[in-house]
Structure formats: C-alpha cells, structure tokens
Chain A
C-alpha cells in the first residue's frame, strides 16, 4: 500500500510550482501576444529568487529594444537541473538561461549551449579583463567561453566577533594554524552543547574550499583520475577532519539544524563557512541585538592570507544552440552585464557582481559584509570543469563524513576517494580515448 502511493508522489512536489508558473506564463503570453505579434520573443529561464528579480530587470531591456519581448520563466532551484536536461532531451530549450557555473561543463559536453567568444570579441560592454579571473575561467572549456558570469559567490567564514574577543582575539584568523588556536581557545571556554564551529557533514563545499587553497587539483591527468592521495589534498583533509576529531565542530548534517542564523545568534557556534546569500539570511533571521556581533572574513589560508583561495562559484548567462534568436539573446546578456544593471541586481537580491567596475560603485563598496568577498574573489579558483564534478565531490564528502565519525583514517579516506572517483570517471576516459565528445 505505502509503496504504491509513496513513490509517485515525491517527484511531483517540485513540479507543482513549475507547472503553476508554466500555466501563469502561458496566460501572460496569451494576454500580451495579440498587440505585439510582430515582436521578437526571447525565452529566458532563471532560477529561484533571481528568476523573480529578472522579470523586473528585463523591463528596462524591453524599453531599450521595443522590438524584443522577453518572456521570463522562473524555475525552482531544486528542479532546475533536471528541467534543463529534460528540456535538452525534448528539444524545448529556451534562448537564454541562468546556469550554475558547475553545470556549464555538462551542458557544453551535451552541445546544448554555444561558445560566446565571437560575441564577446565584438562587445564593448562585456570585457573579460574586468571580471574576476577565477570566475571567468570557470566558464572557459577547451579555450572557449560558454557563459558570461551574472553573479558570483565564494564560501568564506562568518564569525562572532564577541566570542573571539572573549577568548582573547581581536581579529579574524588568516592562517590555518592561527584558526586552530582560536578554535581550541573558544571550545575550551564553551558551555556544554556549544561548539567553536559549524561545518555540516553533508556539505562538500567547506572541504572543497580548503582543498582549493592548496596548490594543484584533486583530479589529475586532464581530470581523468582522482588525485586525492596527493600530500596537498591530504593536508586539507587532515585539517578539515581536525574540526571533528578535536571536538571543535559537531558531527551534524544541515538537515538537523533548524536555523543557522538563530543558532549563530545564540552563540552555539562561533565560525561558519557559507556564501553571500547568508548575509541577507543573517540580517533577516537574527535578533536585532546580535547584529553588531558578527562579521565576515576571507577563508584562512594554509600558510596565511597570501594563500587564501576558495570556490569560484555563482551563475552565468548562456545561449542555447537551438535558439533562433541568438543575436537578441546576446543583447539581453549585454544589458544584464552593464555595471548599472548589476548594481540594481545586487540591491534587489544581495547577489555579488562578477566585475570589478560594479564593485567600484558606492553602494556595494561601502557594504562591510561584502568587503571580505571582494578580497577572496580575486583569489578564488574554478573547480574541475567536468560533467561528473558534483557526483565526485558528493562521494568525496560521504567518505569524509565517515572519516569524521572516526571510521576511516586520513590515508584510508583519501584512497577510497580515489577509488570511487576513478570508477565514476571510467566513462569519461572511454569517451576521451575514442576521440572525445566533439
């Protein structure tokens, strides 16, 4: 009985808002189509909150180009990846879409999206040198740029200034060793049930961030094999596991935490690794009394501030191969890349702009919480650009979690990560040996 009713119900859950938005979009389309039948219609897919805001941003674009109408469709993040793949399989891709940077290699491998180099070369608005280098290269595959960064994120530390001060530290840590001293001091003073840091064991981003601060990559030979047994990765893994083995951080999945900002405000944790979206969450959910107590800082580096790095994440704008309106699509990307439009986008969403000239505008330059991101974005690195990336880091994290629970040593965990990764990449090796995808 339960088996019959249980399974089909679940996949439907994320689809409902999608369906509603489809119906809504269809209705809207029906209303406005008649008077503007001769206008060129651009289909633009955007996810989550950005999708809501995009509908407002494109109004300015439509004023500038009265002959183009943009139809924005909002996708929920949870369903977006499956929706894009299904759209590709069913030949119903849009003209332009927002796309998580780590999905771009996959979509490029599918030949679903087109390189934008010729457009970029002829543009006086999209100038690659103005973008943070790690972010820009995360879209460059085999020397071709497949996306223009729309907003960026990188994970760094959120910390409680007052807890650090009480433990005798007046500044954020800059090196791993310094960080460890603070963690030990805070844990020693903490009440039972309180911790020095929170690193949810089901999130791979903290470990990937630490690994990117080390030279080299955790994949090798053209991303065909795992490189987790390298001394550099093992050092990052050892430091990461130290959080749990020394009792600085609880062994928790984030499904077990009701609200990070509230727990943070109550002083249950002094350090937390997260991205820019958390700034707004902290402001929204934290009691007003705790507002002055927290700050952001670049992720400490293995050997000090000079070795700081992190994940070059975020989302970019791409054009689909099947689009018959590529020129108009590029005009939209150019419009959304203007510093003034990006500034407004930042005001509406809190998302961080990918280009330095936007950061120079007064609004964002004076935001105290954003400054640390600005610093780290200069050093952030792209993650391996292969379709299997997410699967690999998820597997990496489940193995790391077992090590955090004391089931595996550092060397055993690294060996198992290599073994799993090599199995996942066997298909990729076969494809590359047989002439690759293109």
Chain B
C-alpha cells in the first residue's frame, strides 16, 4: 500500500514532463511515421478520399530520387568535414584559453563564445555580404595580397566550404566551453608528475590532456554531429540550396517537399530516412568511443 502510494506520487511528479513529451514529441513523431506510409499531399487536404495508403512506396521513391542522394552527399560532406574542424577548433581554442600563459582569460572566453549567442539569420546575412564576390570585404582584403576575387557562394565548388567555415565560426564556441570545463577537471598533480619526469608540453597534451578529455570530446562530437546532420538555416539564408544544388541539405529538401509543395507523406519519409542515417553515424561514433573506453 505504502509502496504503491509512493509510486503514484512519483508518477505524479514526472507526469507533467511525460505529458509534454508525449503530446509535443511522441505523438507528432508517431503521426509523421503514419503519414510517411500515405501519399498525403495537397489533394488529400481537399478531401481525405484522395488519401491513399501506399506502404513503403515513399521510402522507395526517396531512395530512388537522385536529388535525395545529392542532398545526402552534401550533408555528409558538411558533417565529415565540419565536425572534426569544429572539434579541432574548439579544442585548440580551449587549450589556448586554459593555458597558464594566457592573459585576459575571461575576455577571450567571452569573445570566442560570442558567435554562439548571435542570431543565426542575422549573422548569415552579414556573412553573405562579406563573401559577396564583387563588393564583399573578404575579397577586398584578399586583394591586398594580390589574390583574385573568389566567388565564395556562387561557385558550386566553393559554396559548401564557405558554409562550413560559417558553421565552424558560429558553433565552435559552444564546444569550447564544454571542453574548457573538461580541461579544468583534469587534476594538476598529473601535470606536475609529468613535468618532474621531464615530459615536454606536447607530450603532456598527448598523454595526459587528450586521454583525460576523451569522454568530453566524445560528448561534444556526438552533439555536434547530430546538429550538423540537420543543416538547414545556413543554406536557406545564404544560398537557398544553390548554386547547382551544391548546398542542398537533406533537411532543406524535406522543407521544400513538405512546406513548398505540401507533399507531407513524402517529406515524412525523408525525415525518417535522415533519422536512420543519423542513427547509423551515431552508432559508429559510439562504437569507436567504446573501443577507446570513452563511453
């Protein structure tokens, strides 16, 4: 009796959270899953008589769509290049800010973190102007070194690197703060012992800092990767998926299909395919981490 009452109280405490998760997360996800097996589109909006159950046809159509693979390729490009660069930049910045030799630590911490709290849309628009081919400041600055203007966002080979650069600048500060916390948790005694044994600065980083930071880097890597798989706002503002679909991401394709053309069934299928790919990548990263003993 007492035990049952305790459980009830427990349930009551978690109920608000469960209800919110259920209504705003679980239900929509289930609805989307159901939708992905139908041909829900503009005609179904007119009359549900036009709604057909199509089984896995949407999934087959997604996998057969050339543009989907193009979008997936672009997204993977963004993830594979962007995530290591972001983590590397975060680690580098954290080491510099953490360094014993650094002055004005809190100033640099704030300065490097600032891009994270800026409004993504606003700064994306500013970057668009900075990287404009004819009038942008970046090309103007490069001209001092005799470098010819580069069409950063208009050339299909340059557009994705430019977007990666932007995402890197925008996001690395967040990871840096987490890494910094990890660095501060490493006991000083380890470094003292290493110094007594005559270890160089590089060896201290290699054999103390990095192994001790493993779990932190793992967390940061996972968060960044899952976030990067959902690339959307940067191309939406800066290139609208162009030029030549070189910055079309899976989420952008989903947005076009779902909200421009109202192909909600098809768009839901894209969402679940993206989910599967994100899961696979997460699983691979976790496996890697487990082997290293970081998870």
Within 8 A of A (CB), among B15-73: 39, 41-43, 45-47, 50, 52
Query: Using an 8 Å CB-CB cutoff, how does the interface string of A380-397 with B read, 1 for contact, 0 for none?
Result: 000000011011000000
CB distance from B49 to the nearest CB of A (A): 9
A253 touches B259 (CB 8 A): no
Contacts of B39 in A (CB 8 A): 427
Stretch among A4-12, A215-223, A288-296 lining the B interface: A4-12
Contacts of A11 in B (CB 8 A): 259
CB distance from B5 to the nearest CB of A (A): 37
A253 touches B156 (CB 8 A): no
Interface residue B240 (Cβ < 8 Å from any Cβ of A) = yes
Interface residue A307 (Cβ < 8 Å from any Cβ of B) = no
Contacts of A32 in B (CB 8 A): none
Contacts of B153 in A (CB 8 A): 255-256
A258 touches B42 (CB 8 A): no
Contacts of A427 in B (CB 8 A): 39, 41, 43
Interface residue A320 (Cβ < 8 Å from any Cβ of B) = no
Question: How long is the Cα–Cα vector from A110 to B50 in the complex, in angstroms?
Answer: 11
CB distance from A78 to the nearest CB of B (A): 11
From B49, which residue of chain A is reached at the shortest CB distance? A434
B43 touches A202 (CB 8 A): no
B121 touches A253 (CB 8 A): no
CB distance from A387 to the nearest CB of B (A): 5
Contacts of A19 in B (CB 8 A): none
Stretch among B98-106, B225-233, B285-293 lining the A interface: B225-233
Question: How long is the Cα–Cα vector from A193 to B139 in the complex, in angstroms?
Answer: 15
B227 touches A256 (CB 8 A): no
Question: How long is the Cα–Cα vector from A88 to B42 in the complex, in angstroms?
Answer: 11
Contacts of A110 in B (CB 8 A): 42, 45-46
Contacts of A428 in B (CB 8 A): 43
A431 touches B227 (CB 8 A): no
Contacts of A391 in B (CB 8 A): 260-261
CB distance from B150 to the nearest CB of A (A): 13
B171 touches A109 (CB 8 A): no
Stretch among B128-136, B184-192, B196-204, B207-215 lining the A interface: B128-136
From B223, which residue of chain A is reached at the shortest CB distance? A1
B228 touches A109 (CB 8 A): no
B232 touches A401 (CB 8 A): no
B45 touches A89 (CB 8 A): yes
Question: How long is the Cα–Cα vector from A431 to B233 in the complex, in angstroms?
Answer: 35
A7 touches B121 (CB 8 A): no
Q: Which listed residue, A2, A109, A193, touches B167 by the CB 8 Å rule?
A: A2
Query: Using an 8 Å CB-CB cutoff, how does the interface string of B105-118 with A read, 1 for contact, 0 for none?
Result: 00000000000000
Interface residue B120 (Cβ < 8 Å from any Cβ of A) = yes
Contacts of A258 in B (CB 8 A): 129, 132, 134-135
Query: Using an 8 Å CB-CB cutoff, how does the interface string of A235-269 with B read, 1 for contact, 0 for none?
Result: 00000000000000001110110100000000000
Q: Which listed residue, A6, A202, A256, touches B132 by the CB 8 Å rule?
A: A256
Contacts of A6 in B (CB 8 A): 120, 227, 230, 232-233
Question: How long is the Cα–Cα vector from A5 to B230 in the complex, in angstroms?
Answer: 11
Question: How long is the Cα–Cα vector from A82 to B243 in the complex, in angstroms?
Answer: 25
Contacts of B224 in A (CB 8 A): 1-2
Question: How long is the Cα–Cα vector from A252 to B132 in the complex, in angstroms?
Answer: 12
Interface residues on B, range: 35 or more
Within 8 A of B (CB), among A76-90: 82, 85, 88-89
> Looking at A2, A252, A428, which has the most chain B CB atoms within 10 Å of its CB?
A2
Question: How long is the Cα–Cα vector from A256 to B233 in the complex, in angstroms?
Answer: 17
A106 touches B42 (CB 8 A): yes
**Total residue contacts A-B, CB cutoff 8 A:** 108
A4 touches B121 (CB 8 A): no
A252 touches B154 (CB 8 A): yes
Interface residue B294 (Cβ < 8 Å from any Cβ of A) = no
Within 8 A of A (CB), among B224-274: 224, 226-230, 232-233, 236, 238-240, 242-245, 251, 259-262
Beyond A391-B260, A402-B244, is A253–B154 a contact (Cβ under 8 Å)? yes
Contacts of A10 in B (CB 8 A): 121, 232-233, 236
CB distance from A392 to the nearest CB of B (A): 10
B242 touches A109 (CB 8 A): no
Question: How long is the Cα–Cα vector from A405 to B239 in the complex, in angstroms?
Answer: 17
Contacts of B156 in A (CB 8 A): 405
Interface residue B174 (Cβ < 8 Å from any Cβ of A) = yes
Question: How long is the Cα–Cα vector from A11 to B260 in the complex, in angstroms?
Answer: 12
A82 touches B46 (CB 8 A): no
Query: Using an 8 Å CB-CB cutoff, how does the interface string of A401-438 with B read, 1 for contact, 0 for none?
Result: 11001010000000000000000000110110000010
CB distance from B242 to the nearest CB of A (A): 5
Contacts of A252 in B (CB 8 A): 154, 243
Beyond A4-B227, A202-B242, is A431–B45 a contact (Cβ under 8 Å)? no
Question: How long is the Cα–Cα vector from A111 to B42 in the complex, in angstroms?
Answer: 12
Contacts of B227 in A (CB 8 A): 1-4, 6
Beyond A201-B242, A202-B240, A427-B39, is A9–B121 a contact (Cβ under 8 Å)? yes
From B61, which residue of chain A is reached at the shortest CB distance? A423
Within 8 A of B (CB), among A93-115: 106, 109-111
> Residues of B with Cβ closer than 8 Å to A?
39, 41-43, 45-47, 50, 52, 120-121, 128-129, 132-135, 151, 153-154, 156, 167, 170-171, 174, 223-224, 226-230, 232-233, 236, 238-240, 242-245, 251, 259-262
11 interchain pairs, CB-CB under 8 A: A3-B229, A4-B227, A6-B230, A7-B230, A7-B233, A10-B232, A10-B233, A89-B45, A253-B240, A253-B242, A255-B153
What are the 7 closest A-B residue pairs judged by CB atoms, nearest first? A3-B227, A2-B227, A3-B230, A256-B154, A110-B46, A253-B242, A391-B261
Interface contacts beyond A255-B238, A391-B260: sample of 15 additional A-B pairs, CB < 8 Å, sorted by A:
A1-B224, A2-B224, A3-B226, A3-B229, A4-B227, A5-B120, A10-B236, A13-B121, A193-B134, A252-B154, A253-B154, A258-B129, A258-B134, A387-B42, A430-B52
> Residues of A with Cβ closer than 8 Å to B?
1-7, 9-11, 13, 82, 85, 88-89, 106, 109-111, 193, 201-202, 251-253, 255-256, 258, 387-388, 390-391, 398, 401-402, 405, 407, 427-428, 430-431, 437
